[in-house]
Amino acid sequence: MLILGSNASDGAVHVSMVLAQLSKRVITAQIRSLTNTSQEAGLVHVEKQFEAVVPEKRDKDAFMAAIATFKEKRGRTHVEFINTALKYVKDYGVHKDLDTYKSLLDVFPKGKMIPQTAFQKVFLHYPQQQNCAVKVLDEMEWHGVQPDKEIHDIVVNAFGEWNFATKKVKRMLYWMPKLKHSNKYLDRRHLEGKSLSPSELAGIALKMMSRDPATSISLLKLSDNSDPVDKWFATAQSPSQQLLLSELQKSEEVFVDGGSVYVQDNLIRFVTLTGTTKLSPLDEFKKEELDEDYSNWFEEWKKQRHEAKRSIHQQDHETVFAMGAMFQNDNATALRWMDQLQKRNPNLENLRIRVRLDGKSWLS
Amino acid sequence: MISYFPGRLLFPKIRNTSCAFFSKESTSSNSLAESKTNSELQDYTGKSNLLEKKKVGVFGTSTVPINTNFPNPKGVIGYDPDFSVKEIVAELPNTRKTQGAKLAEEIKDAFSNISIEKPELLEDIGFVRHNEARVEYEFDTPEKLDLWKIGCDSDWKEGFSTCSLVNSDRGTAVFSGNISTRVLKDGRVERAGWASMKLEDRKSFNRKKFLSKWRNFSHLLLKVRGDGRSYKIMLHSPLSMDFTWGDSFSHPLHTHGGPYWQYEKIPFSKFFHTVAGRIQDRQYRVNLEDTSSIGIVIMDRIDGDFKLEIDYIGVYNDTTHVEDFAYETYTLPVFNTHGF
């Protein structure tokens, strides 16, 4: 069975696969021995099967092994098994995994439950099983797992082309891809199926929040791989922000404040460098008369030109000079971040900096 | 109020049989049960209110209320529309005061705005210009904030989320709280973790105000500042018939978070038809003539605090947006099992 590949990396992959297979087999054997012993004692609920695995070993392999054991036994209690298994998807950390839902739905026998007569088609044929399948699909939808053609085919093979459970999966296949990429601020492909480090997540968050297309996001690593604590600063600043910062007078005040933002289900903390605004609030709406008046067009044109200079960073209540994220959120670290920022913005040394991170709630 | 006036007041001898299938008391309750109060019964059986089971009628309990019920637009299980004469008498002066003031205001408005020029008529024939926007709802005073009602699952004893809506010192509204997807173990609730704010802007005596004046605009316009989470805009369009009580048209509202404000323009053509939050098979464009309320909901299955700052809600017209409806509208074959 063990075939080593031609090169080292290939071989490593094979070995790891074989190891995974082996561990799966060990767990299967464990579960099987448990079910065997319990069968001697009498009936045992499926729940025990999932409970038996110690919390440290609860993973995809263990979950799949439990499903495989059930399928091997060819039991008739599909619904009971799936309902119980569904309770444990989060415990086993497989609630965002498409393969798990596929193999769960694969538990249903093929062909037997496909309606044959008109009555069977119109009414809920095998209601318990269909409702159970809908429940599995709903759980999948709740956790945002995108369905594919294969899961559709699995349901079709069990329940027929236009049954109620199949309609559910068809609806999911229609709507979920439609709304999947409706978020124009965050590309979910950068996040899905990846384990990102805090600095990478911070980079994604800064990219999402920076509304100026000219913003450059930089990451500064303060430690190499030998350091147990990863130390880093991320900074997002655009040329127009640098310009605004350089135009500030001596001993003007700038503030470093904290905030937080969600990147899907990750809460990212960031800091902003802001200053008080000097402009009057932006009037977003101009009253336009239908009869145009050109008597003082020159003044208007001059005013318009002046208004166009207002950048996106000059918000009504504050001017945003820079955004950043740090490995640790306190005043001392923020001052170090400011030191880094000062290299690109020499005017910062003339300004009074107030760091307001400590003792503040984050979402306010 | 007046619309919920029960028949029992007019005919005190007759039990309210029309809702007997679905009311908490069954008609078969004997004199012994009637003599005892509800709480006594609960003490006797040792059952709590939380674990109370649904009463199943002869034809099953309807999750969507059916027309033989008293109006129960929110679909509350065990909803009892009955109230005593005493309660009405106690409530009457307050109702007269608040509703009377609203009516007086309406009449005053009607007389002060007499004009030959009908702005909506002009808009109908194409006087809405490109880039024209109109701000409809602002949040700078507590009175304007009072038009908005908030709710979350813990208010219904169905979860652990919290929410609040307050004025900020910038003249904006802050909708914030905490979402918890922890499910209450009462055997009934299956999902949890939502919070919502909804417009309850009505004319006097509970009459609906429709958003039909928005019909000539192409986009819904919101100026918000969020936290990176995704919200949902719902245009509620319940009508008098029971099967329309859950009708709403939804579209996600994604936020980018951070210190910058975002101007979110959502085309009305992109709103899809949902009933009680579920996307429907048969889709059609939102009809603003029927839409009477607008809501912002968060239910993104993420545990944690949320915060959405709202400056204003309005409409915007983009004449280049010619799309009528963004989704496919298939014609279903006549003989299909759609209704089942």
CB-CB: which of B257, B261, B306 is closest to A208?
B257
The 10s digit of each residue's pLDDT in B138-189 is 999 999 999 999 999 999 889 999 999 999 998 999 999 999 999 998 888 8
Please name every residue paired with B274 in a beta bridge, in sequence order, or none if there are none. Answer: B248, B279
Q: Is residue B335 part of a domain?
A: no
In the predicted model, what is the mean pLDDT of residues B123-133? 88
Looking at the partner chain, which of B252, B260, B279 has a beta carbon nearest the beta carbon of A211?
Answer: B260
Confidence of residue B120 (pLDDT cuts 50, 70, 90): confident
Number of domains in chain B: 2
* Assigned domain for A303 exists: no
B305 neighbourhood in chain A, CB within 8 Å? 363
- Torsion sign over Cα B138, B140, B141, B142: positive
**To 10 degrees, the CA torsion angle through B158, B161, B165, B168?**
180
What is the nearest CA distance from B304 to chain A, expressed in angstroms?
A: 9
Interface test mutation site (partner B, options A262, A266, A271, A311, max chain B beta carbons within 10 A): A262
Are both A349 and A243 inside the same structural domain?
A: yes
Nearest chain B Cα distance for residue A30, angstroms: 32
Q: What is the pLDDT of residue A225?
A: 74
Distance CA A225, CA A220 (A): 14
User: Chain B contacts of A272, Cβ < 8 Å?
Assistant: 258-259
3-state DSSP assignment of residue A272: strand
Contact between chains at B259 and A274 (C-beta distance less than 8 A): yes
* One domain for residues A135 and A257: no
Pairing of strands A253-263, A352-355: parallel
Beta carbons of B257 and A312 less than 8 Å apart: no
Q: Is the pLDDT of residue A40 over 50?
A: no
Q: What number of helices (H) and strands (E) belong to chain A? A: 13, 6
How much is the CA Rg of chain B, to the nearest whole Å? Answer: 23
CB B231 within 8 A of CB B298: yes
Domain count, chain A: 2
Nearest Cβ partner of B227 from A183, A262, A285?
A262
Q: Does residue A38 sit in the same domain as residue A175?
A: yes
Q: CA nearest B178: which of B197, B160, B158, B155?
A: B160
Which of 148-187 (B) contact A at CB < 8 A? 170, 176
**Range of B232's domain?**
131-316
The 10s digit of each residue's pLDDT in A129-172 is 999 999 999 999 999 999 999 999 999 999 998 899 999 999 99
- Determine which of B134, B279, B281, B283 to mutate to test the interface with A (most A C-beta atoms within 10 Å): B279
CA distance B196 to B296: 6
Q: Are B83 and B7 contacting, i.e. CB atoms less than 8 angstroms apart?
A: no
Interface contact flag, B254 A288, Cβ < 8 Å: no
DSSP annotation of B208 reads B
Report the C-alpha gap between B157 and B50 in whole angstroms: 8
- Asked if B305 reaches chain A (Cβ–Cβ under 8 Å), the answer is yes
Looking at A149, A180, A211, which one is the last position of a domain?
A180
User: Which of A139-142's residues contact partners 24+ apart within 8 Å by CB, and which partners?
Assistant: A139/A86, A139/A89, A139/A95, A139/A101, A140/A98, A140/A101, A140/A172, A141/A172, A141/A176, A142/B191, A142/B301
Task: Assign residue B262 the CATH number of its domain.
Answer: 2.60.120.430
Concatenated DSSP letters of B162-196: EEEEEE-TTS-EEEEEEE--PPPSSSS------EE
Chain A contact for B337, CB < 8 A?
yes
Backbone angles phi, psi at B287, to 5 degrees: -105, 105
- The domain of A231 spans 193-279+310-355
Interchain CB contact of B122 with A (< 8 Å): no
| Phi and psi torsions of B127, nearest 5° | -90, 0
Residues A153 and A257 in one domain: no
Most distant CA atoms of chain B, gap in Å: 71
Are residues A20 and A65 both part of a single domain?
yes
Q: Are residues A337 and A212 in the same domain?
A: yes
**Side-chain half-sphere exposure of B189, counting CA atoms within 13 A:** 19
Q: Is there a contact between B254 and A144 if contact means CB atoms under 8 Å apart?
A: no
A332 contacts: CB under 8 Å, gap ≥ 6: none
- Among chain B residues, the shortest Cα distance to A139 is held by B191
Same domain, residue pair B295 and B151: yes
pLDDT band at B82 (very low <50, low <70, confident <90, very high): confident
Note whether B265 contacts A: Cβ–Cβ < 8 A.
Answer: no
pLDDT of amino acid B28: 35
Question: What average pLDDT does this structure show over A331-360?
Answer: 91
ipTM confidence: 0.82
